[in-house]
Chain A
Amino acid sequence: MPAEAAKPGRLRRFLDSDIGWSFRRTPAAWLSTLVLSILILTALFCPLIAPQNPHDLAQVFIDKAEIPPIWSADGEWPFLLGTDPQGRDVLSAILYGTRVSLIIGFSAVLVSMVIGVSLGLAAGFYGGRIDNLLMRLGDTVLSIPTLLMAILVSAIFRELLPPGLRDPFAAAVLVVSIALTSWVQYARTVRASTMVERRKEYVLAARIIKVPAGRIMRRHILPNTLTPVMVAATLNLGLAILSEATLSFLGVGMPITQPSLGTLIRIGNQYLFSGSWWLVVFPSLQLGLIVLSVNLLGDWLRDALNPKLR
């Protein structure tokens, strides 16, 4: 199918389908999609949009330190949301920080999904001892509070890296520690549907003609287990972004040199009593807005894909 011809048709088809109809009818769904698209686009293209590159020292002026937002009496153009004590523009820092937060959130969900789906497929397909081992492992992960586990894993990984590599790999460490604590849910859902699918005739047929097990799992069973995985992934994206922000806020996440939204809130928290409220309020609002839209979208998706509620 040529991609050019398929593209408009696909959008049309989506809007005409059951899900598309529910999407158009639910304001929470399309509003949050709209907000989320704007946030993602502004974050991805932040070097073009942001008034200033907060990481470029040549663009930061120390004499412009701690300017309040534009609508207060001392506000100054172009610092719409004010500046921090180093003279960095808060709006630009938020846009760059959102990019960091979103990249980590999406990667963490992707990695945990890959881990969870593969383990779930293996557990459901082979059953027996492998299944038992993997599921016990999952139970153990779930029996430790997630946040605690994530802090511990990221602290251990950081400590194992040589000091010079800690900052460049901070994002990777966060992705791994969030992924390692959140794969169980995917594994459980995929395992459950794999156990149902593997007894069906198309799988038996594939086995009879000697399709290798890995290929049966990937090409035959996997596509039939993906619907609940998608819902879980959307809802977990909100959680992953929150976890990243919490870890960064506690000081075990992104360093000050490449701040995420959580790091910005951590920095702003230190100036709470000096009256510079804008340093902490705006990053918090941005974080809340992202997670809120993701959660609303996830809630809608869960209901829309649930056949019982149709």
Chain B
Amino acid sequence: MPAFLFKRFVNAAGVMLAVAFLAFLTFRFVGDPVELMLNEQASQQQRDELRTRLGLDKGFVLQFATFVGNAVRGDFGISYRNQQEVFTLIAERFPATFELVLVATFLSLAVGIPLGVYTAIRRESVLAKALQFISVLGVSLPSFALGILFILVFSVNLQWLPAFGRGEVVQLGWWSTGFLTASGRKALILPGITLSLFQITLVMRLVRAEMLETMRTDFIRFARARGLPARVVNFRHALRNCLMPVITVTGLQIGNLIAFALVTETVFQWPGMGMLFVQAVTFVDIPVMAAYLIVVSFIFVSLNTLVDLTYAWVDPRLREDALSGGANAR
């Protein structure tokens, strides 16, 4: 087990280092940071001072080491655009993105699992086939187009729900939440659904495939033979055995959802990290871009590693495999 743990951590650290290198390259070579940070009237002396202060006169390797050291401490420098600390900017926007992703994850499980079970149990019914087709449709229509169509129907025509923003938010320390006000909750509905649609189809297909597999096994046949009611067989026996991969995929997808939220946030003018990033891209605000890349990749890589570790912890076979170098075939 310790060897396995160590290997996973080294892997994760390696990936993060590669990401940091990419971010550093962007920061260092896309435009001259000194030119971007000072105005045109700055004297040569001011330029040199800033160059020294940013450490740009040092060697390449040393610069990269400083960059990584600062990033580990949460110091991503100062935004070119509004001269604020990048860390504060991201911390301000993080709650909005997190709440959106939370709602989308909840929706994907609450809707996806029942639909998956239904399409597996009533495989031949018309409704199940229609749902299967709709799921292909859901993967094919891009989420931004769906979001716009939602705005068109529910905000412009019916005027039921707000088309942009978070509504009223309540500050709890540094965290701002939209869950506590009616307008905040209302504002979450459309972006939440838009972000979750792809996820719903994913969970639905996964649950369906797993259910079909489980329904063929002996213990289900045996449970049927014992005369247990269909409800108990389907939900208590079959579904329970399908939940493990669903939880894994949901965990892994949270990182993707955070990244994908930037599209939803742009459509709904949602003041989260993603919109900050898209704005930074249009203004070539490189410290913000680099910081966003590092933060999102960090979440992504941590989740991946965490899921791997949980798996090894839950499933003893994997632990054995990892120790003996995969010699113990299942």
Contacts and interface: CB of A to CB of B under 8 A. Distances in A.
Interface of A: 136, 139-140, 143-145, 147-148, 151-152, 155-156, 159-160, 238, 242, 245-246, 249-252, 265, 268-269, 272-273, 275, 277, 280-281, 284, 287-288, 291-292, 295-296, 299
Contact of A295 (B140, B163, B301): B140
B296 A155 contact: no
A288 B149 CA distance: 12
Interface stretch (B89-97, B175-183, B260-268): B260-268
Interface string B296-319: 110011001000000000000000
Given A295-B136, A295-B140, A148 B301 contact: no
B156 A265 contact: no
A146 B144 CA distance: 16
Interface of B: 11, 14-15, 18-19, 22, 26, 30-31, 136-137, 139-142, 144-145, 148-149, 151-152, 156, 163, 255-256, 258-260, 262-263, 266-267, 277-278, 281-282, 284, 289, 293, 296-297, 300-301, 304
Contacts of B262: 147-148, 151, 250
Given A145-B259, A159-B284, A272 B142 contact: no
Main secondary structure of the interface of B (DSSP, over half): helix
Given A144-B293, A145-B256, A148-B259, A242 B142 contact: yes
A136 B260 CA distance: 24
A250 B266 contact: yes
Given A148-B259, A281-B149, A252 B136 contact: no
Given A250-B266, A296-B136, 15 more contacts: A152-B26, A160-B30, A242-B142, A245-B142, A246-B144, A249-B266, A252-B281, A275-B156, A277-B152, A281-B149, A284-B142, A284-B145, A284-B148, A284-B149, A295-B136
Contacts of B14: 136, 140
Contacts of A242: 142
Nearest to A245: B142
Main secondary structure of the interface of A (DSSP, over half): helix
A238 B142 CA distance: 10
Contacts of B259: 145, 147-148
A246 B137 contact: no
B142 A287 contact: yes
A143 B144 contact: no
B293 A148 contact: yes
A127 B197 CA distance: 41
Contacts of B255: 145
A295 B139 contact: yes
20 contacts: A145-B256, A145-B259, A145-B260, A147-B262, A148-B259, A152-B26, A152-B293, A155-B281, A245-B144, A246-B144, A249-B144, A250-B278, A280-B148, A284-B148, A284-B149, A288-B137, A288-B140, A288-B141, A291-B140, A296-B136
Given A159-B30, A265-B145, A284-B148, A140 B263 contact: no
Contacts of A249: 142, 144, 263, 266
A159 B144 contact: no
Nearest to B267: A269
Nearest to B282: A251
Given A152-B289, A159-B30, A281 B152 contact: yes
Nearest to A251: B282
A250 B263 CA distance: 7
The 5 nearest A-B residue pairs measured at CB: A145-B259, A284-B145, A292-B140, A291-B140, A288-B141
A66 to B, nearest CB: 16
A94 to B, nearest CB: 13
Contacts of B26: 152, 156
Given A151-B281, A245-B142, A143 B152 contact: no
A275 B148 CA distance: 13
B141 A284 contact: yes
Nearest to A141: B18
Nearest to B157: A277
Nearest to A157: B30
A202 B266 CA distance: 55
A58 B259 CA distance: 43
A159 B300 contact: no
A288 B18 contact: no
A272 B149 contact: no
A274 to B, nearest CB: 10
Given A144-B19, A295-B136, A287 B145 contact: yes
A144 B300 contact: yes
A124 B248 CA distance: 30
A147 B31 CA distance: 23
Nearest to B266: A250
Nearest to A241: B142
Nearest to A277: B152
Contacts of A295: 136, 139-140
A295 B134 CA distance: 13
Contacts of A284: 141-142, 145, 148-149
A159 B32 CA distance: 11
A275 B157 CA distance: 9
A265 B281 contact: no
Contacts of B293: 144, 148, 152
Given A145-B256, A296-B136, A265 B148 contact: yes
Contacts of A288: 137, 140-142, 145
A198 B264 CA distance: 46
Contacts of B137: 288, 292
Given A160-B30, A250-B278, A155 B284 contact: yes
Contacts of A292: 136-137, 140-141
